[in-house]
């Protein structure tokens, strides 16, 4: 059959029209898929100019896609690296990027022509709910920790993690206490570290060990507030085979024996039972231990560093701490200044803490602006550095921009007291919470208390009296207990039952935390 010339042409025209339609439809589909993607998508040319931006990303950025096409991507998207990838040609997978105050997971892929030249870069950001992101990250850290535990368990359990360089603060109070700690480290005598909760006593204990001639020996910690009284003796001194029913068959080494040739850090020493204090004194004098069930004492070479946030002298007066042991420990006392007495250190501390938080959470470092730092310096910090760290961690979660501003700190509005002194900062510490309750009681209203916010903030809101939201009928003590229990249970949940981490999260001292945990049966 002959096909006329006109027939050929019309056939070809029809075919190409069909292909055009198909291509156009395909393009429409891609466009719809791009626009409706859950992720933010952006494509740049090799000069870093935006070729296309989907609606999801445009909405997040608060721009109209049509207005930004052709603009340099760095002018439109904060902290972008699309233009850099266009230059390096190296893909960046799952990088963290802060955009409009939200952390995103960004992936940037160079697109090449057949000769291998970069002609464009495709970028994708997944913005998770921030909590999810942090939860994911916490979970990831846990898994990583579990994976690495068998290899370095022994090492991390028995070695000091911090040195003097980890102790931040170059104001006069801190410089002199650090200098004294270095001197104390060179001796072999017991050191007593005193200071309020969160002032860095544990940090100093580690650093003293590291500065001492025992630095290559073990560093063993015992939290005297956490050991149940009946187990104390065997925990410290160990026991021999068959010492008591339920004992491990082969016997067990105590902390003293584990710390042989190293340092034993007795944290919260004020909580040590009196009977054990007598035994500790004996070890310090005789330099030998007597494991439970042992026939003879065994020599040990251990240097004691003890810490407390209690007033040991007062405990001695009250008959709760042995005078002779107190004198023995008190030979070298390092008194750590509370943060309110070294506010000049707050800027460097904040910088250090923010860097550490960023590192621990795999984020980019964020800074606090001058007003935020001034606000931090206006606080009294009853929970000291731990509390400062908690406030900064929270600010990091709730900040809106890429720099922490005063309002991100979540502190009550700055106010001067009657004596001109700045108002106390928000405290998440137990002490802070109780103080809020006490303030209310002293104000002559013992049956009522401010809301949870007031309790945890450490300062009753200015309008507590006026706002019905802050007034409830439940008796004061019950409210405090209920809230305290909820907070402790919540923190334990978030930290997967890790008491130390939960105590840190709440800005509470470890001993108070353990006590409360037991008290509430959690
Ligand atoms: N000078 C400092 N520089 C850097 N970090 C610090 C400093 N002081 C304290 N910190 C940090 O504050 C937190 C509390 O410190 P640490 O546990 O040493 O305090 P503490 O006095 O032993 O508290 P507690 O009496 O409640 O056990 C830790 O995260 C610690 O790293």
Cβ–Cβ under 8 Å, residues 254 and 237: yes
User: Which of 337, 355, 379 lies at the terminal end of a domain, its last residue?
Assistant: 337
pLDDT of 155: 41
Give the whole-angstrom CA distance, residue 449 versus residue 96. Answer: 43
Do 355 and 244 reside in the same domain of the chain?
Answer: no
Those residues with Cβ within 8 angstroms of residue 350's Cβ, 6 or more apart along the chain or in another chain: 368, 373, 376, 388, 392
Residue 157 is assigned to a structural domain of this protein: no
Do 193 and 331 lie in one domain? The reply is yes
Q: Are residues 191 and 277 in the same domain?
A: yes
- Best residue among 201, 203, 359, 390 to mutate for probing ligand 1, ranked by most atoms within 8 Å of CB: 203
- Find all residues with CB under 8 Å of 443, minimum gap 6, and list them: none
Residues with CB under 6 A from ligand 1: 167-169, 195, 197-203, 307, 309, 349, 352, 385-386, 389, 509-510
Q: Indicate yes or no: pTM above 0.90.
A: no
Helices H / strands E in the chain, number of each? 21, 16
Nearest ligand 1 atom to alpha carbon 508: 26
Give the DSSP H or E segment for 40: strand 40-45
- ipTM (interface predicted TM): 0.98
- Mutation choice for ligand 1 from 170, 172, 198, 428, CB with most ligand atoms inside 8 A: 198
> How many angstroms separate the first and last alpha carbons of the chain?
92
pLDDT number for residue 70: 95
Q: Measured between alpha carbons, how far is residue 492 from residues 128, 310, 370, 497 in Å?
A: 24, 25, 34, 5
Between the CA of 381 and the centroid of ligand 1 the distance, in Å, is 13
Closest atom, ligand 1, to C-alpha of 389: 12
CA distance 323 to 171: 34
Give the number of other Cβ atoms within 10 Å of residue 356's Cβ. Answer: 16
Question: What is the predicted pLDDT for the residue at 100?
Answer: 77
Can you say whether residue 500 is alpha, beta or left, with left for phi > 0 and alpha for psi between -120 and 50 degrees? alpha
Counting ligand 1 atoms within 8 A of each CB, the residue from 160, 385, 504 with the most, and so the one to mutate, is: 385
386 Cα to the center of ligand 1, angstroms: 6
Atom of ligand 1 nearest to the CA of 203: 18
Using the atom order of ligand 1, give the atom closest to the CA of residue 202: 18
How far does residue 58's CA lie from ligand 1's centre (Å)?
44
CA 345-346-347 angle, 5° bins: 95
Same domain, 199 and 332: yes
Q: Are residues 291 and 182 in the same domain?
A: yes
Domains in the chain: how many in total? 4
* Domain end residue (candidates: 422, 446, 474): 422
Q: What residue's CA is closest to ligand 1, atom 26?
A: 509
C-alpha distances in Å from residue 457, one per residue of 155, 329, 434 = 39, 36, 10
Strands (E), 355-430: 367-368, 403-404
CA distance 77 to 402: 12
Domain shared by 471 and 405, yes or no: no
By most ligand atoms within 8 Å of CB, the mutation choice from 167, 176, 177, 202 for ligand 1 is 202
Interval between CA 173 and ligand 1 midpoint (Å): 16
Q: Whose CA is nearest to atom 29 of ligand 1?
A: 386
Same domain, yes or no: 32 and 79: yes
Is the CB of residue 90 less than 8 Å from the CB of residue 98?
no
Cα dist. 118→82, 114, 124, 200, 483 in Å?
12, 10, 17, 52, 58
**150 is a domain residue:** no
Neighbours of 207 (CB within 10 A): 24
Q: Pick the last residue of a domain from 273, 307, 337.
A: 337
pLDDT in tens, the chain (522 residues): 454 555 777 777 777 788 888 877 777 777 777 766 667 899 999 999 999 998 888 888 889 999 999 999 999 998 899 999 999 998 888 777 887 777 778 889 899 888 889 999 999 887 644 455 555 565 566 555 555 544 333 344 567 788 888 999 999 999 999 999 999 999 999 999 999 999 999 999 999 999 999 998 999 999 998 888 778 888 899 887 765 555 556 678 899 999 999 999 999 999 998 888 998 999 889 999 888 888 888 899 999 999 999 999 999 999 999 999 999 998 899 999 999 999 999 999 999 999 888 887 777 778 899 999 999 999 999 999 999 998 998 888 777 777 899 988 888 765 443 333 334 443 333 333 322 222 233 333 332 222 222 223 333 333 333 333 333 455 667 767 777 887 787 778 777 788 888 888 888 888 888 888 888 878
Domain annotation covers residue 396: yes
Compute the Cα dihedral for 31, 32, 37, 40 and give only its sign: positive
Q: Are residues 441 and 462 in the same domain?
A: yes
Domain limits for position 331:
162-337
Main-chain dihedrals φ then ψ at residue 239, nearest 5 degrees: -145, 160
Burial of 425 (0-12, 13-18, 19+ CB in 10 A): buried
CA-closest residue to ligand 1 atom 16: 200
* CA 22/CA 161 separation, integer angstroms: 65
Q: Which two tokens stand for residue 75?
A: 């002018």
206 and 83 within one domain? no
Q: Which two tokens stand for residue 235?
A: 């925990």
Q: Are 385 and 340 in contact (CB under 8 A)?
A: no
Q: Residue 245 has what DSSP assignment?
A: T
Q: Do 109 and 196 fall within a single domain?
A: no
């Amino acid at each position: 059959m002959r096909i006329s010339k006109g027939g050929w042409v019309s056939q070809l025209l029809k075919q190409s029209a069909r292909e055009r339609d198909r291509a156009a439809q395909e393009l429409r589909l891609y466009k719809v898929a791009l626009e409706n993607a859950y992720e933010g998508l952006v494509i740049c040319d090799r000069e870093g100019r935006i070729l296309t931006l989907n609606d999801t990303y445009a909405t997040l950025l608060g721009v109209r896609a049509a207005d930004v096409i052709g603009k340099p991507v760095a002018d439109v998207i904060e902290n972008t690296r699309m233009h850099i990838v266009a230059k390096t040609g190296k893909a960046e997978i799952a990088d963290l990027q802060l955009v409009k105050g939200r952390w995103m997971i960004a992936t940037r892929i160079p697109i090449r022509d057949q000769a291998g030249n970069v002609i464009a870069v495709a970028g994708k950001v997944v913005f998770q709910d921030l909590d999810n992101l942090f939860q994911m990250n916490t979970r990831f850290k846990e898994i990583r920790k579990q994976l690495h535990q068998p290899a370095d368990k022994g090492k991390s359990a028995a070695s000091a993690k911090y040195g003097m360089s980890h102790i931040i603060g170059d104001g006069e109070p801190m410089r002199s206490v650090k200098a004294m700690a270095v001197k104390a480290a060179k001796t072999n005598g017991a050191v007593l570290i005193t200071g309020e909760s969160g002032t860095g006593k544990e940090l100093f204990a580690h650093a003293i060990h590291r500065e001492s001639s025992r630095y290559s020996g073990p560093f063993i910690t015992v939290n005297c507030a956490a050991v149940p009284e009946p187990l104390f003796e065997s925990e410290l001194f160990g026991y021999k085979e068959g010492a008591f029913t339920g004992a491990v068959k082969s016997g067990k080494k105590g902390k003293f024996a584990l710390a042989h040739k190293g340092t034993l850090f007795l944290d919260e020493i004020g909580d040590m039972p009196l009977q054990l204090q007598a035994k500790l004194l004996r070890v310090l004098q005789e330099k030998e231990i007597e494991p439970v069930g042992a026939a003879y004492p065994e020599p040990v070479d251990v240097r004691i560093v003890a810490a407390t946030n209690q007033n040991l002298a007062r405990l001695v007066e009250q008959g709760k701490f042995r005078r002779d042991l107190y004198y023995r420990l008190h030979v070298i006392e390092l008194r750590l200044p509370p943060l309110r007495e070294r506010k000049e250190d707050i800027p460097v501390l904040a910088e250090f803490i923010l860097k550490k938080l960023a590192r621990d959470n795999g984020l980019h470092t964020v800074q606090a602006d001058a007003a935020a730092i001034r606000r931090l310096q206006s606080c009294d910090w009853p929970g000291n550095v731990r509390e400062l760290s908690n406030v900064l961690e929270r600010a990091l979660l709730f900040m809106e921009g890429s720099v922490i501003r005063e309002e991100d700190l979540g502190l009550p509005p700055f106010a001067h007291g009657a004596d001109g002194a700045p108002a106390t900062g928000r405290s998440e510490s137990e002490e802070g919470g109780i103080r809020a309750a006490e303030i209310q009681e002293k104000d002559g209203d013992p049956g009522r208390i401010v809301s949870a916010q007031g309790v945890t903030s450490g300062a009753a809101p200015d309008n507590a009296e006026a706002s019905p939201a802050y007034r409830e009928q439940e008796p004061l003590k019950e409210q405090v207990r209920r809230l305290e229990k909820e907070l402790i249970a919540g923190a334990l949940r978030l930290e997967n039952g890790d008491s130390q981490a939960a105590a840190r999260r709440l800005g509470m001292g470890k001993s108070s935390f353990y006590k409360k945990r037991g008290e509430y049966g959690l």
